Homo-oligomer: A and B are copies of this chain.
Amino acid sequence: AMLRARWVLPLAVGAGLEAALGRWEHRERGDAAEGLLARLPVLPAVAAASLPAPPGSGRTELSKYGLPGLAQLRSRESYVLCYDPRSRSALWVIEQLNRDTLSGASDRAACDFQEDDSVHEYHRATNADYRGSGFDRGHLAAAANHKWSQKAMRDTFYLSNIAPQNPHLNQNAWNNLEKYCRSLAKNNRNVYVCTGPLFLPRMEADGKMYVKYQVIGKNNVAVPTHFFKVLILEKESGEIELRSYVMPNSPVDDKIPLERFLVPIESIERASGLLFVPNILKRTSNLKAITAG
């Protein structure tokens, strides 16, 4: 049966909002009339605690009550991550792989997926969000990249380093891409791997462009439409090579060669809101980009 679509704002919304959405007839109040502060646990605001005063302005009064949010960096044993509290996952994760980091006896069986309690509970994914969703808990920084340290491997199991991923993709083509990264790390001085989600628009029947993605669980964890991996290879020669891949978050035939998923880095830079090339060019003038052939 066709359900009536309804915007969902967590907790009850004002009746006017309901009305504006044409729902006068089924006004729902929920607990909106209760005292707010009675219900609100006061938690440490990690993001807000360390905010600098806004630079370059005499009007510092503006931040008197804090700024409501800024990017949330997490620096862990195996990666540096930028958390996106709206999607309950990461904007990007960077790892460094080389011969040293790939060897070791760390055991995946000793690792469990765990909530990232450095993230405010309002903005945190839980294992329950994934349960029954049909999606795997897909690593961004891969567990098997960090055999060098049990702690580093365990750190990849924070749910902040995880995104909902199609099981077929996670276990096949994406896994192959991760293995390929490790094989490159054996033949180069270093491989920097940056991984993240994409939420790509597409044209619908009305001729307009829309971004559409599922959200899962009580915490509305965003399901990316695609994933990217950007590889920065430091070769023994000193040359820097850049390879960037995009895969859709859907079953991918793992007989398709990985090179077919190469895309121009500019595509990822535009779609993700991130920048790679300007950063790299600050370090080297010897950059070679490998793009779709």
Instruction: Give residues in A with beta carbon < 8 Å to B.
Output: 2-3, 5-17, 19-21, 29, 32-33, 35-37, 39-40, 42-45, 47-48, 54-57, 59, 61-71, 73, 75-77, 79-80, 82, 84-87, 91-92, 94-96, 120, 122-123, 173, 190, 192, 194, 198-205, 207-216, 220, 222, 225-226, 230, 232, 242, 245-248, 250, 252-253, 256-283, 287, 289, 291-293
Contacts and interface: CB of A to CB of B under 8 A. Distances in A.
B201 A211 contact: no
A279 B66 contact: yes
Contacts of A40: 265-266, 277
Given A19-B260, A45-B278, A62-B79, 10 more contacts: A15-B292, A17-B261, A29-B292, A44-B278, A64-B96, A64-B283, A68-B230, A68-B279, A86-B273, A122-B269
Given A212-B212, A215-B209, A260-B14, A37 B94 contact: no
A120 B273 CA distance: 9
A9 B3 CA distance: 31
Of all A-B residue pairs in the complex, the 7 with the closest CB atoms, nearest first, are A16-B260, A66-B279, A85-B273, A86-B273, A45-B278, A68-B274, A71-B71
B209 A211 contact: no
Given A200-B9, A253-B20, A211 B210 contact: no
Given A9-B200, A123-B270, A205 B2 contact: yes
Chain copies in the assembled complex? 2
Contacts of A215: 201, 209-211
A61 B96 CA distance: 8
Contacts of A64: 96, 192, 283
A166 to B, nearest CB: 11
B209 A8 contact: yes
A213 B211 contact: yes
A17 B260 contact: yes
Contact of A32 (B86, B92, B258, B291): B291
B68 A70 contact: no
Contacts of A7: 200-202, 225-226, 248
A289 to B, nearest CB: 4
A20 to B, nearest CB: 4
A214 B7 CA distance: 15
A275 B70 CA distance: 10
A92 to B, nearest CB: 5
Nearest to A73: B54
